[in-house]
Amino acid sequence: MDTIVEAVEDLKAGKLVIVVDDENRENEGDFVAISEYIKADTINFMITHGKGLVCTAVDREIAKRLGLVLMPTTHTDPFATAFTISVDHKKTTTGISAFDRATTIRALANPFSGKDDFHQPGHVFPLIAKDGGVFVRQGHTEAAVDLAKLCGATPSGTICEIIHSDGSMARLNDLEKMAEQFNIRIISVQQLVTYKITQNEEC
Ligand code: 5RP
Ligand code: CA
Ligand code: ZN
């Protein structure tokens, strides 16, 4: 595993990292990148090598400003992932290309964006992080927003689960191999909790 400092360095440079949650939780690895730095290339990498769902984690303030409301839920998801109604930026065409999704994601992280800049439903799935981040919920949603804050960026990170070539979820062993293959940093949500404690971070 790499350090949080190394991961933050790469994220600040616009690269993505792999973040694994606890093996007793989802036991999944997601690619994570900072939303305001997202380029179409990053999305293309995520959907080619990750193959999961591209979601953009935002803090509660962004969600409120952009009028992102939670999907109707019957609360049957054991992890209570906070999906809002999906969005596309109005400047996109079909919304699904890597270019269109990057446009939507950068707009979600743009402090000058407003509710009227987006169509709903769309092809990017915002998730609302809990206040307090990984101290309160140890999900990829909170990890992505906490990492964006540690980068000094708008509190929004974009994530995509990593699925193994055989269709099953990639586990730690596979994820470590992938990190080496593509020269990507790999960290855990638990490391982030510990780092925040040692840094007296409140985010
Ligand atoms: C959305 C998901 C992923 O697991 C994603 O990592 C966000 O969820 P969580 O915060 O629960 O880890 O379900 O594709
Ligand atoms: Ca999930
Ligand atoms: Zn997750």
Q: CATH number, domain at 148?
A: 3.90.870.10
* 175 located within any domain: no
Quick one: average pLDDT of 151-177?
98
* 84 located within any domain: yes
* 187 located within any domain: no
What is the C-alpha to C-alpha distance for residues 9 and 76, in angstroms, rounded to an integer? 37
Q: What local confidence, expressed as pLDDT, does residue 61 receive?
A: 98
Q: Which atom of ligand 1 is nearest to the CA of 53?
A: 14
Q: 139 CB under 6 A from ligand 1? A: yes
Whether residue 117 contacts residue 90, with contact meaning beta carbons closer than 8 Å, is answered with yes
Q: 100 CB under 6 A from ligand 1? A: no
Residue 84 token pair: 């809002």
Q: Is the ipTM of this structure higher than 0.85?
A: yes
**pLDDT class for 168, splitting at 50, 70, 90?**
very high
* 185 located within any domain: no
Q: Which atom of ligand 1 is nearest to the CA of 143?
A: 10
Count of domains observed in the chain: 1
Measured in angstroms, how far is the CA atom of residue 66 from the centroid of ligand 2?
Answer: 23
Convert the pLDDT of each residue in 75-116 to its tens digit: 678 888 999 999 999 999 999 999 999 999 999 999 999 999
What is the C-alpha to C-alpha distance for residues 129 and 137, in angstroms, rounded to an integer? 8
Q: Long-range contact list for 6-15, CB < 8 A, 24+ apart?
A: 6/185, 7/147, 7/185, 7/187, 8/147, 8/150, 8/151, 10/184, 10/185, 11/37, 11/147, 11/148, 11/151, 12/151, 12/152, 12/153, 14/39, 14/42, 15/184, 15/185
Residue among 144, 141, 62 nearest 107 (CA): 62
Domain of residue 68, residue span: 4-170
* 182 located within any domain: no
* 68 located within any domain: yes
* 194 located within any domain: no
Q: 146 CB under 6 A from ligand 1? A: no
Q: What local confidence, expressed as pLDDT, does residue 202 receive?
A: 66
Whether residue 52 contacts residue 30, with contact meaning beta carbons closer than 8 Å, is answered with yes
* 189 located within any domain: no
Among protein residues, the one with the nearest Cα to ligand 1's atom 5 is: 140
